[in-house]
Structure 1
Amino acid sequence: MQQILDAILAGDTSPEDYAALELPASYRGATVRKDEVEMFEGVASRDKDPRKSLHIDEVDLPELGPGEAIVAVMASAINYNTVWTSIFEPVSTFGFLERYGRVSPLSKRHDLPYHVVGSDLAGVVLKTGLGVHSWKPGDEVVAHCLSVELESPDGHGDTMMDPEQRIWGFETNFGGLAELALVKSNQLMPKPDHLTWEEAASPGLVNSTAYRQLVSRNGAGMKQGDNVLIWGASGGLGGFATQYALNGGAVPVCVVSSDEKAEICRKMGAELIINRSEAGYAFWKDEHTQDQKEWRRFGGDIRALTGGEDVDIVFEHPGRETFGASVYAARKGGTIVTCASTSGYMHQYDNRYLWMNLKRIIGSHFANYRESWEANRLIAKGMIHPTLSRTYGLDDVGQAALDVHHNKHQGKVGVLCLAPEEGLGVRDEELRAKHLTQINAFRGV
């Protein structure tokens, strides 16, 4: 592994020299273990501790199949799916691996008593399988997390519709929180030259998700002048949604939970901000009853900021806690687009506000390769920026996941894998200098 790292740090290693490197038989990766899936039984979700369930284990290097690549992972990042995996909610991910293992003899590799997790990476291609023509050893890459088989016609209009669509590192094995990772070659994209390894690794999942959800015709199809309500506007998803709204000529209405998070939104260029903690919204009277007076108060606060206009689009991901208010707040003919339910999956809303006002609810899940490529291209051009706030080492991945689990983070939390320190991997210092303030907007908050 040291020879691989030395080749990367040298900065001038040729593709031929990379191809000649011997791959190790095993590598270090962040895992959960199948024999521990009941370790938190009877424990409340918030009290489940990823530091107890995430292990750094030495695992076997998987067989390289056709259309695949082995990547040396310099850095990765924490997403909420890693939190779910680590606390075994809402289900154990070993069920995903077992089902994938039944698809083909090759996919059987994924059905193991351990799960190497992680759905982001930035690193260097070391070896490619048969049929890979677009990537070669030595290419500096990032990876998006869509894994598809594409043997069904259903996925050929939009690969997210493939019946065998999975999220790499969550519903597949050999993910990015490790020294090496196994990916399909159609997950790879060029690493933005002006970013460090940890900065480049951090946007992947959330950037692509926000792009499809808000910008793509498969999502809300945002246009210039739209008012866009963004929950958690300084978070991993919301931080990119806020940038896309501003970049696309829309008007973000940012909902945050503290003055510090409001300041991050202002750093990004947003002006219309609601601090929900300060406002004290109580959308639920009790476990079963929502308070529509609070919906109306919330709608009034939005209109006070927008000059009397309701929002065209609601960027939803909290779920149960906010969904009723989101459906209410959208304008007549407006769109509520949802990609997650971090506060609960069972949503309740008053359907009168939906059907009588001709609103739409759109489900959005990650992004296809084209959408991911476009989102990464905007990062590479310096038009959209990483939201990295803090970086841990691989040995501290449990603490990194706990931060995200307890919402103690801003933006994204990065993890160094092979990279020995932060700040490495920049190839375009001139472009970086132009955008350094935006790149660091989430740092130190």
Structure 2
Amino acid sequence: MQKILDAIMAAENAADPEAELAAIAKLPVPESYRGVVVRAEETSLFEGLDSRDKDPRRSLHVQEVPTPELAPGEALIAVMASAINYNTVWTSIFEPMDTFGFLRRYGRLSEQTKRHDLPYHVVGSDAAGVVLRVGPGVTRWNPGDEVVAHCLNVELEEAAGHDDTMLDPQQRIWGFETNFGGLAELCIVKSNQLMPKPRHLSWEEAASPGLVNSTAYRQLVSHHGANMKQGDVVLIWGASGGLGSYATQMALNGGAIPVCVVSSPEKAELCRRMGADLVIDRTAEDFRFWSDENTQDPAEWRRFGEKIRELTGGEDPDIVFEHPGRETFGASVYVTKRGGTIVTCASTSGFMHQFDNRYLWMHLKRIVGSHFANYREAWEANRLIDLGQIHPTLSKSFPLEQTGQAAYEVHRNAHQGKVGVLCLSPTEGLGVRDGDKRARFETAINRFRNC
């Protein structure tokens, strides 16, 4: 593993980094590597505890694992950096179920997928690194290529997936519903998960947008989601968080008008740094959408809607960008404009949503479910990063050994933007290949740093 890292580091100040990296093809593949895992024997670790009291630091372990054989169509990546997503939090607290059921079902699919059904699960759905090997049938990528990985793992053996790969019956999220994820020194991906690493970004910056940037693109921009247009008023929950920070940038980049909902003055300031003028600090306004555990308060929905109109000059949101779920969904349906769209992915505050259907059916609103992105959407989202139209929202990074702490901070919402993890990379700031391009965007790239 050290020889692999040495080869990658040799490209750091080389006149021809690509030539240096091509030599990686001659290095042997390590028999094992370090990965962040949950263990099947610990799935009852948090029984009886509330979700907020479950601690990822107890369940996420860094351990040596055997390097699996490559199957056709796959690539082995030397991972320089990864990032924390909420699916890693769910995995670490075994909610809403443990992920070993996913691995067992995937393992039954074929001889190749049996490799995934193990008593440990190497987690992580983001990665930036260097291609180390490719399996039979891979022609687009070669050892030495600098890449980022998106997290759609899809078989594409059934007709249903060939209009939109997210509809494939065997669609899975890599590192969550499959093994050998990105929070590790090595990872295995399908070759159609790979995209070029933006050359002006460091490894940790390049790793951080993948899942959330692609998810926000499909949810907000794509015709499979809200199909946002210029001038749309877009209400964005958690607008300074991992997902919302990309939705905010996409709204601004696409000529829409974001209304950013956050929970502190510091988060409100981050939205303004991104260029958003309309910001609601829900904590300062003391919005309480539930009067008790089982009863929502429509008066608070109305007060929230009035606050939005106050900011927009009387307009309701054309689009509500939903992901908190249970806590906010009733309010989201209520405040959406007649004929507008509530587009939802995830449910970090709870999966069982309740809303007053009169405000949906009588006002001709739509609820659109959105889940990650297909390869084209992920590629387009990554292209926006490469063009410097959308920027990483990385706030800080942890070493691989402290992945549990990184996941804990995301679980407790004690973070801003995205939290990165250094895998093979010995320090932050490595991997920048185009310094001139970076200089044009330096301020925007660092907006979330050390928040």
2:9 matched to 1:9? yes
**What is the match of residue 32 of structure 1?**
38
Correspondence list, 1:339-354, <5 A: 339-354=345-360
Deviations 1:312-360 (A, max 9, x none): 0000000000000000000000000000110011100000000000000
Deviations 1:150-202 (A, max 9, x none): 00100000000000000000000000000000000000000000000000000
Give the CA deviation at 1:288: 1.4
SS in 2 for 1:397: helix
Asked whether the equivalents of residues 228 and 315 of structure 1 are also in contact (C-alpha less than 8 Å), the reply is yes
**Which amino acid in structure 2 is aligned with residue 344 of structure 1?**
G
Paired residues for 1:20-419 under 5 Å = 20-419=26-425
CA distance in 2, matches of 1:159, 1:425: 31
1:193–1:380 Cα contact (<8 Å) kept: yes
Cα offset for 1:287? 1.4
Q: Report the alpha carbon displacement of residue 19 of structure 1 after superposing the two structures with TM.
A: 1.2
CA distance in 1, matches of 2:383, 2:280: 31
Offset, 1:16: 4.9
Output the TM-score relative to the length of structure 1.
0.99
Name the CA distance, whole Å, in 1 between partners of 2:367 and 2:389: 29
Q: Is the 8 A contact 1:15 1:136 kept in 2?
A: no
Gaps of 5+ in 2: 12-16
Q: What is the distance in 2 between the residues matched to 1:360 and 1:390?
A: 37
2:8 and 2:20 in contact (8 A); partners too: no
Cα distance in structure 2, aligned partners of 1:315 and 1:15: 41
Shift of 1:142: 0.1
Aligned twin of 2:14:
none
Can you list the C-alpha shifts for 1:190-231, whole angstroms capped at 9, x where unaligned? 000000000000000000000000000000000000000000
Q: Which string of whole-angstrom CA distances, capped at 9 and with x for unpartnered residues, describes residues 80-100 of structure 1?
A: 000000010000000000000
Give the secondary-structure state (helix, strand or coil) at the position aligned to 1:297. Answer: helix
Deviations, residues 122-161 of structure 1 (Å, cap 9, x unaligned): 0000000000000000000000000000001000000000
Instruction: Give me the whole-angstrom Cα distance separating, in 2, the residues matched to 1:53 and 1:350.
Output: 39
TM-score normalised per structure 2: 0.98
Alpha-carbon separation, structure 2, partners of 1:274 and 1:267: 15
Query: 1:444 Cα shift?
Result: 1.7
Matched residue type, 1:10? A
Structure 1 unpaired stretches of 5+: none
CA displacement 1:395-416 (0-9 Å, x = unmatched): 0000000000000000000000
- Alpha carbons 1:146, 1:366 under 8 Å: kept: yes
Amino acid in structure 1 at the alignment position of 2:119: P
| 1:410-432 deviations in Å (ceiling 9; x for gaps) | 00000000000000000011111
| Structure 2 contact 127–207 (Cα < 8 Å) conserved | yes
Percent pairwise identity: 73
Cα deviation for residue 28 of structure 1 reads: 0.2
8 Å contact kept, 1:207–1:237: yes
- For residues 57-90 of structure 1, give each alpha carbon's deviation from its aligned partner in whole angstroms, at most 9, with x where no partner exists: 1000011010000000000000000000001000
| Secondary structure of the corresponding residue to residue 311 of structure 1 | coil
1:15 Cα deviation (Å)?
5.8
Contact kept in structure 1, 2:7 and 2:21, CA below 8 Å: no
Aligned residue type for 1:262: A
- SS of residue matched to 1:336: strand
Amino acid at match of 2:257: V
**Runs in 1 of length 4+ with deviation above 4 angstroms?**
13-16
Deviates more, 1:286-295 or 1:420-429: 286-295
Aligned residues: 445
How many angstroms does 1:389 deviate by?
Answer: 0.2
CA distance in structure 1 between the aligned counterparts of 2:169 and 2:142, rounded to whole angstroms: 29
Q: Quick one: which amino acid aligns to residue 112 of structure 1?
A: L
Letter of the 2:7 counterpart: A
Displacement of 1:257: 0.3
Q: CA deviation at 1:14?
A: 4.3
Q: Output the CA distance in 2 between the equivalents of 1:52 and 1:401.
A: 11
CA distance in 2, matches of 1:232, 1:174: 30
Task: Give the whole-Å Cα distance in 1 for the aligned partners of 2:49 and 2:360.
Answer: 37
Q: What's the Cα RMSD here? A: 0.7
CA contact (8 A) 2:197 2:206 kept: yes
The CA distance in 2 between the partners of 1:408 and 1:285, in whole Å, is 25
1:90-125 C-alpha deviation (Å, 9 max, x unpaired): 000000000000000100000000000000000000
Amino acid at match of 1:300: E
Matched residues in 1 for 2:296 and 2:49: separation? 27
**Alpha-carbon distance in 1 for matches of 2:37, 2:293:** 35
Asked whether the equivalents of residues 333 and 342 of structure 2 are also in contact (C-alpha less than 8 Å), the reply is: yes
SS at the partner of 1:151? Answer: coil
